[in-house]
Structure 1
Amino acid sequence: MKHFDAIIVGAGQAGPPLAGRLTAAGLRVAIVERKLFGGTCVNTGCIPTKTMVASAYAAHMARRAAEYGVQVGGAVAVDMKQVKARKDAISGRSRQNVRSWLDGMNGCTVFEGHARFETPHEIRVGDELLGADKIFLDVGGRALVPDMPGVDRVPYLTNTSMLELDVLPRHLVVVGGSYIGLEFGQMFRRFGAEVTIVEKGPRLIQREDEDVSTGVREILEGEGIHVRCDAECISFAPRGEDIAVGVSCASGEPEAVGSHVLLAVGRRPNTDDLGLDKAGVAVDKAGYIVVDDQLRTNVPGIWAMGDCNGRGAFTHTSYNDFEIVAANLLDNDPRRLSERVLGYALYIDPPLGRVGMTEAQARASGRRILQATRPMARVGRAVEKGEAQGFIKIVADADSRKILGASILGTSGDEAIHAILAIMNADVPYTVLQRSTPIHPTVAELLPTVIGDLR
C-alpha cells in the first residue's frame, strides 16, 4: 500500500485547490480522477455551455443588427461544427490547465482511474492500494434519467451528450423547465432550431417567485419557444425517425414530436460506485453524502465537497466548500456552511441573478417584509442596449433593515446581483447600499433607488 497524508478523490472545482493548499502545508497528497480533469464546470457545465451561449448571443444580435442601424446583409447562418469546435477548444484548454497544474504540484501524485473504498482509510485505484488518514471526496454528479414511460425506447440527450452535437436539431424537445433545460432551449432556438420546453409542474423554474417564472417564460416565448407546463403525462415513443413526447392528458396538443429530445430533469451524485458502504459513510435517500457544517462526514477523517454532498451544486459553492475545509484544517479559522449566503444565476439571455430568499420564502418566514420592484425599462443601461426585458426585485426585513433576498432578471443581472450579495455577506442594513453612489450608466446604479421604494 502507498501511504499519503491525504487522498482527494475527484479533480473538480474543490479538489485541485485543496491539493494546492495541502501540499503547500507540507503534506503528501494523492489526487484521483477517473475521467475528465476539471469536473463538471470545465467539461460539461459552465465553461462549455456558456461558450455556446456566447455563440448563440452572437447569432441573436446579428439578426437584430438592423435595430441598431447596422446592416449585415443576407440571412444569418450558424455553423454548428464551428460552434462545437470553439467550445471544445476553450473547454479543452481549461481541462489541460487543471491537469498541468496538478502534475507540476510538488508533493502531489496524480492517479487516473476509478477509486473505491476498501476500508475507511484505504482506497483502491486499479492495481494500486492507497492509504491516508484524511480523505476528501469531490466526485460531482451527473444527469438524472428517471424511469419515465418509453424512455428506454427512444434516443435521448443529456446535458453531456448535448454538447457533442455538431448538427442543428430540426425540433428540439426539452423535458424539464429549470436551469439546464432553459439555457439549452434558448441557445438552440437562437441557433435556428424549433424548440419546445415541457415542464411537469405548473410553471417554469418553480423554486423562484411566480413573477420571475412569468418573466422568464415571456422572454422565451418572445423568441418563439413553445412552453408546455402542467405536463402530467410525460412519455416517449418512436415516431418514424422522430420522437413523440407525451405532454398532456387533459388539454392542449397531447404530444410534441421532435427530431431530438433533451432530458433536463435533475442531477444525481456520483456516489453509487465508490464503495461508501465499506467505509461506513452515510448517504441520504437521494445518494448525497451527509455532511456537517464543516463538510465532515459521519466517519472521522473523511470529508465531502461539491455536488456530491447536495449542499450547493454550483461551481462557486464547490469552491467555497474547499475554502471552508482549508480554513478549518489549515488556518485555525472555523468557517461553516451555515454562514454561506447563496447566490446563483440562470444564464438565459437576459440572465437572472439571484441571492438569498425569494419573496415567497421571506413571507413564509413570519417576518415583517418590505418589498420593491422596478422594471428594467427604467434602467438607462438596459434601454441603451435595447435589452429592457425583466425587472429588479428586493425583499428586506422591516425590523432589522437587512436585505433578505433579491432577483435581477435583466441585462447584467448576473453581475449586478453581487452588490446585493456583498451587502448580505457584510450583514449590514440596506441603508449602506442605499447611501452609496454607484457608477452611471450601469444596472447596479438603480439598486439604491429600488431600496428607496421598499414598502
Structure 2
Amino acid sequence: MADSGSPGSGSSWLGVVADGAVPVSGHGHVGVWPLDEHNAKLLDNVHPRGWQNPQKPDDFVYDLIAVGAGAGGLVSSKQSARRGARSALIEHHLAGGDCLNVGCVPSKALLRCARAIAEMRRTDLCLGGGVSGGDCRFPQIMERMRKLRAQIAPVDSHDATMKAGADVYMGRAVFTGPNELQVAGQTLLFRKAVIATGGRARVPSIPGLEKVPFLTNASLFNLTQLPPRLVVLGAGPISLEMAQAFRRFGSEVTVLQRSDTILGTEDPDAAKMLHQVLTEEGITILTGTGVKSVSHNHAEGQHWPEIRVSALNNGEDCEILCDALLVATGRVPNIEDLGLEAAGVEVTAGVGVKVNDDLTTSNPDILAVGDVIDHPDLRFTHMAGTMAGMAVQTALFAGRGLPVNAASGLLSQVVVPRCTYTEPEIASCGISNLKAAAAQGVEVDVYKSELDHNDRAILEGASCGGFVKILCQKGTEQIVGATVVSERGGDILAELTLAVQYKLGLSAIARTVHPYPTLGEAVQQCALNYNRARWEKLDQSGKL
C-alpha cells in the first residue's frame, strides 16, 4: 500500500491497512491486515493516527537526524539523544521496520507454534492424541502472532523514542542538500545524518510474476487462512524457516532453488544435514531449478488462486501447482527517492549506499547503517543496531574512545553472528567453513564435536545429531569462526562469537566449566580435542 501522505497534518491508518487477507505484494509498502484489536494496538504504536510533527525555527540545526525507524534508525536517534545530542527520527511507514512488523518478531512467533505442533506429533514423548495435519488452528496461530507483536511494539513506538529525548517526524524524508532535508513540508537542518531506510524483498524478473498475487515477507504475516499448497522461491534462511513452519502447520510445501545447494555460503555439512531433516518432514526441495514463468487463475468466490509455476529442474521441464507463492530470493536496499544525489551520497545500483569502514558515505556528514548499505552479507537486525551505535560514536564523538557495543569503530573488525532458526538451527560466525577460509586465503585447523553422544541432545530427542565445528588459525588456538547445528544453536554460538571477537584461545574454552547437561558442552568438547592433542603424558615408567 502507498504511504498515507503527510501524517503531520492529521494522518489515518488508511495507508497502512491492507484491503484483503491475501494482498498482492508490489513495489510499494504492504499494509497490515486484519485490522483487529491486536493490529490496531500495533498501529497505535508504530503509525499513530493524528501524530503532530514538531515545529522548529528555520535556523534550528539537529546534531543528528536518522532517516528510517527500523533497528538502525531507532538506535541512532535514541542513543544520540541519550548522549546529549539534539536528535530526530523520521519514518513514513511503520516504526520498528521489518524486524518488528514483517521479520524477526512475527516469524519467530510462527516458529514457536510450529515447534509445538511438531512436538505433539512425536510418538516418543508420550503426549497423547497428537495433532493432525489439518488441525493446527492456523487462524489462532496468526492471532497469537499479532498479539505478541503488538505486545513488543511499544519499545519501538514513537512515544518511546520521544521519551528517550529525540523528536519524531512522520513523512517521507528527501535530502535537498549536503546538510538539509525535507519532510512533510518542513526543511530540517543537520550536522550529521544517518541513513537507515532498510531494504525490501527482491522480486526476480520472471515472466508473469507481476500479474500473480505472490507473497513476500511483507505480506506473508497478513494471512488468515492456511494455504493448502505453498511454493517457496529461494532456499535462504527466510525461505527455509517459513517452509518448515508451514509444512508443520499442514501445507504441502515445495522449495525451488536455482543453485545446487541450500543456505548459500553456510557450511556444506550443515546445509546437507538441514536438507535431510526438511526432506524427512515432507518438504520437497528442488535444487538446480530455475523458474521460467508463472500464471494463475482465480475463480470468483474462491479464496485461493491456483498458481502455476513452470520451471526447469536440472534440465527437465516441470510444472508445480500451488495456492500461494512466497518469493524469498534476497533483498534490495531502499535507496530510491531519497535525494541522495543532492546530498552527495554515492550508491552502488541494486547493492546499496557506499560506506567507508567507519560507516561514513561520500558525504562525510552523512552515514549509513543496516540493510541499506553496500554489504549484503551484513543484513541482520543485530548488525543494524550495532552499526547504529558505531555511527553515533563516529558522527558525534570521533576520537573520544571506542563504541561500547563493538570491538572497534571499524565495520571490518566486527565479528558477525548469524542464525537460521529452523529446527535444528544453523548458527555461525566469522570464517565458519573451509570454503570461506580458502576464499580469504586463511589456513585453518578444524575441531568438530558431534552431538550424537551429547546427553542433553539425547534427552531432548533431537531430530538430528547436529554438531559444533570450530575453525582455528592453522597451528594455533586462535579461533577464527565456527558453525553450530543444534537446537538453540544461536544461543550456543554467543560463546564462540565472543571468543572470535576478543581473540580468546580454544584452550580457554576447554578450561571453562560448562553446566551439565547442556548442548553447549559440545563447544567445550571441541576445545578439549585441542587440549588432548597437547597433553603431557606419562610413559610406562611414570616419567613425562
Fold match by TM threshold 0.5: yes
Asked if 2 retains the 8 angstrom alpha-carbon contact of 1:116 and 1:124, the reply is yes
Aligned length: 453
Partner of 1:145: 203
Unaligned runs of 5+ in 1: none
Which stretch shifts more, 297-306 or 362-371? 362-371
Asked if the contact 1:176–1:197 (Cα under 8 Å) also holds between the matched residues in 2, the reply is: yes
* Residues 365-421 of structure 1: per-residue CA shift (max 9 Å, x gap): 444421133332122111100115122222211233211221111112111111111
The aligned runs of 1:232-271 (5 Å cut-off) are 232-238=290-296, 241-248=305-312, 250-251=314-315, 254-271=318-335
TM-aligned CA distance change 1:277 to 1:367, over 3 Å: closer
Pick one of 419, 429, 432 that aligns with 2:505.
429
Of 297, 303, 309 in structure 1, the residue corresponding to residue 373 of structure 2 is 309
Where does 1:162-173 land on structure 2 (aligned, <5 Å)? 162-173=220-231
Q: Please give the residue correspondences for 1:36-51 in structure 2 after superposition, counting only pairs within 5 Å.
A: 36-51=94-109
Look up the match of 1:354: 428
Q: Distance in 1 between matches of 2:314 and 2:108?
A: 37
Given candidates 442, 458, 470, the residue that maps to 1:383 is 458
Counterpart in the other structure of 2:23: none
* Comparing 164-173 and 355-364, the one that deviates more: 355-364
The equivalent of 1:67 in structure 2 is 124
* 2:397 is aligned with 1:330: yes
Correspondence for 1:374 among 439, 446, 449: 449
The 1:74/1:57 distance shift into structure 2, 3 A limit, reads closer
How far 1:37 sits from its partner (Å)?
Answer: 0.8
C-alpha distance in structure 2 between counterparts of 1:58 and 1:73, whole Å: 11
Alignment correspondent of 1:222: 280
Which range is displaced more, 217-226 or 228-237?
228-237
- Counterpart pick for 2:415 among 316, 327, 341: 341
CA, structure 1 residues 322+365, in 2 after alignment: closer, same or farther (shift >3 Å)? Answer: closer
Query: What is the aligned partner in structure 2 of residue 134 from structure 1?
Result: 192
Equivalences for residues 1-16 of structure 1 within 5 A? 1=58, 3-16=61-74
Query: Is 2:439 the partner of 1:439?
Result: no
Q: What secondary structure, in the 3-state scheme, does the structure 2 residue paired with 1:147 have? A: coil
Query: Per-residue deviation at 1:55?
Result: 1.1
- How far apart are the structure 2 equivalents of 1:253 and 1:227? 16
* Corresponding residue SS for 1:247: strand
**Offset, 1:221:** 0.4
In structure 1, the residue matched to 2:360 is: 296
Measure how far apart 1:58 and its partner are: 1.1
Partner of 1:232: helix, strand, or coil? strand
* Residue 386 (structure 2) aligns with: 320
In 1, the alpha carbon distance for the partners of 2:131 and 2:117 equals 13
Tell whether the 8 Å contact from 2:289 to 2:314 is kept in structure 1 after alignment.
no
Is the Cα contact below 8 Å between 2:117 and 2:131 reproduced in 1? no
**Superimposed CA distance per residue, residues 328-374 of structure 1 (whole angstroms, 9 cap, x where no aligned partner):** 33371242111101111001111111111122122444444211333
- Pick the aligned partner of 2:183 from 118, 125, 137: 125
Tell me, what secondary structure is at the counterpart of 1:294? coil
Q: Is the 8 A contact 2:121 2:130 kept in 1?
A: no
Q: What does residue 157 of structure 1 align with?
A: 215
CA contact (8 A) 1:379 1:388 kept: no
Determine the structure 1 residue equivalent to 2:3.
none
Q: CA deviation at 1:287?
A: 4.2
Aligned residue for 1:277, secondary structure, equals helix
Equivalent-residue separation in structure 2 for 1:306 and 1:276 (angstroms)? 17
Alpha carbons of 1:252 and 1:211: their partners in 2 closer, same or farther (altered >3 Å)? farther
In the aligned structure 2, how far is the partner of 1:201 from the partner of 1:207?
A: 11
Instruction: After TM superposition, give the deviation of residue 256 of structure 1 in Å.
Output: 1.5
User: Within 2, Cα distance between the matches of 1:293 and 1:96?
Assistant: 33
CA offsets, 1:9-57, max 9 Å, x none? 1111122232223223332222111111111111111111101111111
- Paired with 1:219 and 1:234, the residues of 2 have a C-alpha distance of 28
Task: Choose 176-185 or 366-375, whichever is displaced more.
Answer: 366-375
CA distance in 1, matches of 2:450, 2:504: 26
Cα deviation for residue 94 of structure 1 reads 2.5
Give the letter for the 1:443 counterpart: L
CA distance in 1, matches of 2:438, 2:170: 49
**CA–CA separation in structure 2 for the residues paired with 1:51 and 1:327:** 34
Deviation for aligned residue 1:261 = 0.4
Instruction: Kindly provide the CA deviation profile for residues 181-216 of structure 1, in whole angstroms up to 9, marking residues without a partner as x.
Output: 111100100111000000000111121122221111
Which structure: larger Rg? Answer: 2
Which among 221, 237, 252 is matched to residue 194 of structure 1? Answer: 252
- Give 1:171 shift: 0.6
Q: Compute the TM-score of the two structures, normalised by the length of structure 2.
A: 0.80
Offset at 1:5? 2.4
Q: 1:297 to 1:367 in 2, by over 3 A?
A: closer
**More moved, 135-144 vs 321-330:** 321-330
- Structure 1's 9 and 233: CA in aligned 2 closer, same or farther, altered over 3 A? closer
* 139-148 or 250-259, larger mean C-alpha shift: 250-259
Q: Could you tell me whether the CA contact under 8 Å between 1:288 and 1:310 is conserved in 2?
A: yes
Residue aligning to 1:102: 161
SS of residue matched to 1:27: coil
**Structure 2: which 5+ residue stretches go unaligned?**
1-57, 299-304, 403-408, 534-544
Query: In 1, are the aligned partners of 2:279 and 2:285 still within 8 Å (CA)?
Result: yes
Preserved contact between residue 233 and residue 246 of structure 1 (Cα < 8 Å) = yes
Give 2:220's aligned amino acid. Answer: M
Q: For 1:249 and 1:71, locate their aligned partners in 2 and report how far apart those are by CA, in whole Å.
A: 41
Q: Supply the distance in 1 between the matched residues of 2:204 and 2:365 (Cα, whole angstroms).
A: 34
Q: 1:72 to 1:19 in 2, by over 3 A?
A: same
